[in-house]
Structures are given as structure tokens and as C-alpha cells.
Structure 1
Amino acid sequence: MAATHPVDDSYTIARRFDGYRQEYPGISWPAVAPRTGQIIAFDLAYKSIGDRDLHIDVFAPPPQRRRNQGLLLVHGGAWRSGSKAHFYALANLLSQRGYTVLLPEYRLAPEAPYPAGMEDIRDALAWAQDHAATYHLTADHIAVGGASSGGQMAALLAYRGTPDRDPQPNALIDLDGVLDATSPLALQYENAAGPESPLARWLGGSFEQMPARWREASAALHVGPGAPPTLIVSSGTPRFTAGREHVLSVLQRNGIKNRVYTYARAPHDFWLFQPFLSVAVDQIDTFLRAIDADQAERTRK
């Protein structure tokens, strides 16, 4: 019998959609409509912890559209909720652009606190690199990305990873993820309820109780000359910009490709709904194509 684990299902697409319909006229719930030749594999086991398996979904493009670029996407949900299924619409559209998209399940706060989830997504990226040839990829052409809390986790993996020990992504895609939880702006929200704040529950205590761990979990405090090219797609909500300016300054100082796209007006979880979803797909596609062109140019030299 498979292991059971606690689940917080408070974050749902339907609940968010109902809350946004009046505020964003024209908002719609996208359908997931695969095209001929796409292959979607669900619930592949990538890691076992005792009798608990963690799974990954893979959206592979039609052969004629295939690009040599993968993208591991970490779902959001305030570190305690959410599902890899929340990325199905985004993964499907990116797959139709030629990308192989991988969506990992990972342990959330009700099951296991930090750093368990970080260990899981690290292992998911390692699994993707180990299985790159299966999906017509090369291990050094897999990016990591995420949305909201998943964006925070993806950035931490990309910026804090140790090159001789951790799998290295070739790009970071941050969709409204907080980059510095220790900044005054972030603390207004992420530490508002002290030990009961979602981030505090994931990290094991409030900022006042565990300042070193909050710094450890803030990607902006670890960004350096080895950081990957970075795309930030922002809803424009100030809360989710914490740490961005510092990250951009470090990237620019070190000549690392970076881009920020900010919606004129969009909900925080813009990746779930149209017309915002298609804009995010365009931004990700354009950025990854630019990285591919840069890598090709370096190879020619």
C-alpha cells in the first residue's frame, strides 16, 4: 500500500477564477488541447522516499516542432498547496512551441518542511538531465522555472546550487516569485502572521525566530557571476517584486542575459488564465530562443 501524506487543497483554479471574473473582464479558463504528435506522460516516478513516490509529468512536442530545450516548472501554492496539474495549460502551449516541459510533484509544507521540497525539485532536475536523451534533449539544455512560491524555489535552485554537486539549469524563468524574503517589502507580507505565515510554516519559524534560514532561502542573496540567464514575468503586483532590483543589478554587472516583462494589469496567477497565459508563453518562448541563439553563436566562435 502506498504511503499517505497530508494535503492542503485550499488553492484551486476554480476558486481563483471565481474571484477574478468581476475584476478582469474577458478572463477565461484555457482548455488543454494537445495537437497531433504531442506525447504527454503522466505520473512517472522520479524519486522514492521509503514507500512514498514522487512523480513527474512530461509534455513532449510533436517531432516536427521539437527544439533542443527542456523546461522544469515548479508549481506554486504558498509552499503548502497547489499541484503540478495547475501548469497543464502552460506546459501544453509551450510543448506546441517545441519545448519539452517537465512538471514535478514535490513535498509541501504540510508533509515536510524546508528543505524537503528543495531537495525534491533538485532531484527532479537531475532526473530530467539523466533522462534527457529519452526526450531528445541534452542535459545542458534544461531550464528551471516556477510560479509564485514555485518561482521562489526555482530561483533558489538556480542561484544557490553548487556547480560541482547540483544539477545546473541553462536558464531561470521566474513567474512572480519573491526573490528576497528578508527585504522590508517582503516581510510586510511573508512574515505578517509571524509563525503562521505560509513561508514561516515552510521554513520552520518566523523571520524573527529563524533569520538565518530566511536568508538561506532568499535567492537574491545568493545570485552571483555563475547565475543562469534569467527571465522575470511579473503581474506588476509590488509584493512579488521583492529582491528583483538586486538580482538584476548582479546579472547586469556580470553580463548575464536578463529580461523583465510586466503586465499592464493582470492577476497574480496570470499563468492560469487567458488572455494572460498566451502572453507568458510568448515571453518564455522569445527568451529561450534568444538563449539558444547566444549558445549557438558561442559554439561557432
Structure 2
Amino acid sequence: MIAALRLLTAVVVFLGSLLAVFSAPTYNLWQASIAVTELGFVLALLALVVLLPGWHRSLIGRAAAMLALAAVVLAVSPIVRAYGVARDLPARLTTAFGAATPHSLDGAPALERPFTLGGMLRGAPTPAVVTTRAEQYTSRAGKPLELDLYAKAGAVAATPLIVMIHGGSWRGGDRSDLAPLNSYLAARGYVVAAISYRFAPHNPHPAATDDVNSAIEYLKANGPRFGLDRTRIALIGRSAGGQLALLSAYTKNDPAIRGVVGLYPPSDQVFGYENPSNPRVINSTLILEDYLQGNPKTAPAAYASSSPINFVGPATVPTLLIHGRKDELVFARQSARLTARLASAGRPHLYLELPWATHGCDYFFNGPCGQLSTYAIERFLAAVMR
């Protein structure tokens, strides 16, 4: 009986560990793969339970032990690969954007290293910040659009502004998503505005982009009230929010916008339509048709005007792209192609590709993706907003 339980545990853990190296075939398994790739040490510890005394006493026990050891290797592989990425990241950031000292305040130091195992267990110290909820920045058709402000208590000098734009396939999500980064940056001397925007299909492109731009203008107009520096702004967006951040930064022609960060963003909608995701994971074709009110043949102008890759030029702001190579929802080729366009234009940029990571990899703030992303983001911000 015990041997059978060992084998069952080993099989389940081994099958789960496969998500660390193979693409998830369904939506639910994609969600599970975020935990497997970012919290692999937990799965590895579970696998080691199979190796409790007595495993070698039967053929079934020995088979379970072999599966468990294989699961451990697979489960910790993202951690091993994270150390490889971390080794070169400081030099890459300096080469791309110049040397810069990231912001730090009492009790809120910057990350000293891009990734550590201890960071996964302890996390980064983040003192409490002041959060102002539901600040209305505009209204559309009589409905308010709001933002949340995160700021260090007692700040006296004008503070650089970060506009944070959530993801959700342009038809969902919430400005409170993945809030730990907001608090982390606010504790280190930024004002962070996490904004809401209108959703498709009832509000197709360019509604969301218009909302992002309205939020920026509102924040600038109320700079003194919020204690922010209206001349130093950066945009950060995840997934669909990454597309909105890039599009606003590239097309608004606002000298106050010093840089933009896109985490796993779809930057070319024609490419996305022609290279759809696995529909068992997400129906990217329907999502694009809802957002752009058609396909590339019936709505070519919408596809062109919603693709940040089309607006790269000699004045494009510095860009940091972060993408998981294993992303099943927005293929990493999106960021690779945008990187090539930025390189051709001679614009400052860095593409941080994470070999093990999937879409939404920074959901676990202290995981490998979360640490590496935070390290890169805070140094990028220090470089472009000095």
C-alpha cells in the first residue's frame, strides 16, 4: 500500500514537473505552469517525500524514486536557468541604458542581485506605502474611469511617476492585479498610478489607448496635488496592458515619457492573428477580432494602428521588454521582432527573455521571473528617469 502511494505521488509530481519544460496544452494547465515554473522548489520538496526511508524495498518503490528524482531535476530547472540569466543581466542593462543607481530609501533597498534562492524564501523588504483608491481621472458615457495611487508616506520632493497598465486580453483584468510591484516601487521613491480602462468588444481600439493617454494628462495636470514630477514619467504594462503602454509611449509624442516597459506584450497584431495561440489555451483570434472589430483584411487600419512595432522610429523612447520563451498566450517572437525593429532604428532597448517562463510569470513576485523583472525594471527606471 505504501509503495503504491509512493508511486502515485511520484507520477503526479513528475507529470506536473513536465510543465517546467513543455508548453501547457490547456488553459488550466497554463495557470498551473506559472506555479510550477516559479515555485518549482515546492514541487521538488514534494517529490522528495517519495524518497522517505523504505523506497528501495520494492520494485514499485524504486520506480517511484526514479520518477521523483526526475521530477526534482525538472522542477528546479527554472531556478538553475534563472541563475544563468542573472549572471549577465547587470552588464546587459549597463550596456543598453548606461550605469545607474536604482532608487532606495530607508528600509527599502534596491535588489542587490538579479536573483537569489534566498529571495524566493524571504522576499524583498517593502515598507507600507500610502494607497489612494478610486481616484477618478475621467468618465466615458457617464461611467467613471479610476486609478489607484501608490506613494511613499511623507514624500516632500516631486517624485517620478509610473503609470501601471494591467493586462486581460483587452476585455478584462483589474488595476489591482499584481500589486506587489506597485508597492515595491512606491516604497523606493516613485508614485505609481495603476489605471483602469475600457474593455472590448463594447469599446474596441482605440478606446483603451485613449484612456491611457487621458490618465497621463490627468496625472500631469494634478502633479502638484499628487506630489509627482510631471516631466519624468514611465509606462509599465503587462500583456494587453503592455501593448497599450508601448502604443502610448510610441505615439503620444510626450517628452515627459522617458521610457516604457512591456511584459509579454503583443506588439504586432497582424503577426498575432496570423500566428494564433492554441485555442485550448486561449482563443487569440476571437480576442483580436473583438478588440479590433474584424480581421486584418476587414479592419487593416485598426490592426496597423494598434501595433506598436509600426511606430518605432528615430525618437522612440527607451524600451525594456520582458518575455518568457515558453509563453503560450503571446508568443515570445512578438518581443523578439520588436527588439529587431528597435535595433534597426538605433533606439535604446533591452530584451530580457526568460527561457523557462510562461505568460504571467511575474504573478509570484519573489519567483525567478519576479526577481529578475524587478531587478531589470528598477535599474531601467533609474537610468531613464535621472
TM-score normalised per structure 1: 0.79
Which of the two has higher C-alpha Rg?
A: 2
Equivalent in 188, 213, 218 of residue 275 of structure 2: 188
Q: How far apart are the structure 1 equivalents of 2:143 and 2:122?
A: 32
- Higher helix content, 1 or 2: 2
- Residues 44-123 of structure 1 correspond to what in structure 2 (within 5 A)? 44-63=135-154, 68-123=159-214
2:222 maps to 131
User: Contact 1:67–1:99 at 8 Å: present in 2 too?
Assistant: no
1:204 maps to 293
Say how many residue pairs are matched.
275
1:292 maps to 385
User: Contact 1:181–1:242 at 8 Å: present in 2 too?
Assistant: no
Confirm whether residue 35 of structure 1 aligns to residue 35 of structure 2.
Answer: no
User: Contact 1:66–1:98 at 8 Å: present in 2 too?
Assistant: no
Q: How far apart are the structure 1 equivalents of 2:241 and 2:121?
A: 21
Aligned to 1:71, what secondary structure does the other structure show?
strand
> What are the Cα deviations for residues 59-95 of structure 1, in whole angstroms up to 9, with x where unaligned?
1124469783211011101111111110312211121
> What are the Cα deviations for residues 127-152 of structure 1, in whole angstroms up to 9, with x where unaligned?
12222223332212011120011101
User: Contact 1:191–1:206 at 8 Å: present in 2 too?
Assistant: no
1:218 maps to 307
Confirm whether residue 270 of structure 1 aligns to residue 372 of structure 2.
Answer: no
User: Contact 1:43–1:55 at 8 Å: present in 2 too?
Assistant: yes
Shift in alpha-carbon separation, 1:76–1:30, aligned structure 2, 3 A: farther
> What are the Cα deviations for residues 96-130 of structure 1, in whole angstroms up to 9, with x where unaligned?
22221111110011441111111111101111222
Shift in alpha-carbon separation, 1:141–1:77, aligned structure 2, 3 A: same
Aligned to 1:226, what secondary structure does the other structure show?
coil
Q: How far apart are the structure 2 equivalents of 1:92 and 1:253?
A: 36
Question: Which consecutive unaligned segments of at least 5 residues does structure 1 have?
Answer: 1-13, 294-301
2:261 maps to 173
Shift in alpha-carbon separation, 1:19–1:243, aligned structure 2, 3 A: closer
1:3 maps to none
User: Contact 1:113–1:202 at 8 Å: present in 2 too?
Assistant: yes
How much is the aligned-residue C-alpha RMSD, in angstroms? 3.3
Shift in alpha-carbon separation, 1:231–1:31, aligned structure 2, 3 A: same
Question: What is the Cα deviation at residue 179 of structure 1?
Answer: 1.2
Q: How far apart are the structure 2 equivalents of 1:196 and 1:230?
A: 27
Identity %: 24
User: Contact 2:160–2:230 at 8 Å: present in 1 too?
Assistant: no
User: Contact 2:326–2:355 at 8 Å: present in 1 too?
Assistant: no
Q: How far apart are the structure 2 equivalents of 1:177 and 1:261?
A: 13
User: Contact 1:149–1:177 at 8 Å: present in 2 too?
Assistant: yes
Q: How far apart are the structure 2 equivalents of 1:46 and 1:73?
A: 14
Question: What is the Cα deviation at residue 177 of structure 1?
Answer: 0.1
Equivalent in 214, 237, 258 of residue 146 of structure 1: 237
2:318 maps to 229
Q: How far apart are the structure 2 equivalents of 1:118 and 1:110?
A: 14
Q: How far apart are the structure 1 equivalents of 2:334 and 2:33?
A: 28
User: For residue 231 of structure 1, what is the amino acid of its counterpart?
Assistant: L
Which piece of structure 1 moves more, 205-214 or 249-258? 249-258
User: For residue 57 of structure 1, what is the amino acid of its counterpart?
Assistant: D
User: For residue 197 of structure 1, what is the amino acid of its counterpart?
Assistant: L
Structure with greater contact order relative to length (CA < 8 Å, sep ≥ 6): 2
Shift in alpha-carbon separation, 1:261–1:92, aligned structure 2, 3 A: same
User: For residue 210 of structure 1, what is the amino acid of its counterpart?
Assistant: A
Q: How far apart are the structure 2 equivalents of 1:124 and 1:234?
A: 26
Q: How far apart are the structure 2 equivalents of 1:41 and 1:188?
A: 41
Confirm whether residue 283 of structure 1 aligns to residue 376 of structure 2.
Answer: yes
> What are the Cα deviations for residues 201-232 of structure 1, in whole angstroms up to 9, with x where unaligned?
11101223222211111110111112111111
Q: How far apart are the structure 2 equivalents of 1:171 and 1:159?
A: 10
Question: What is the Cα deviation at residue 240 of structure 1?
Answer: 3.3
Q: How far apart are the structure 2 equivalents of 1:126 and 1:249?
A: 31
Shift in alpha-carbon separation, 1:83–1:40, aligned structure 2, 3 A: same
1:248 maps to 339
Q: How far apart are the structure 1 equivalents of 2:29 and 2:132?
A: 27
Question: What is the Cα deviation at residue 158 of structure 1?
Answer: 1.2
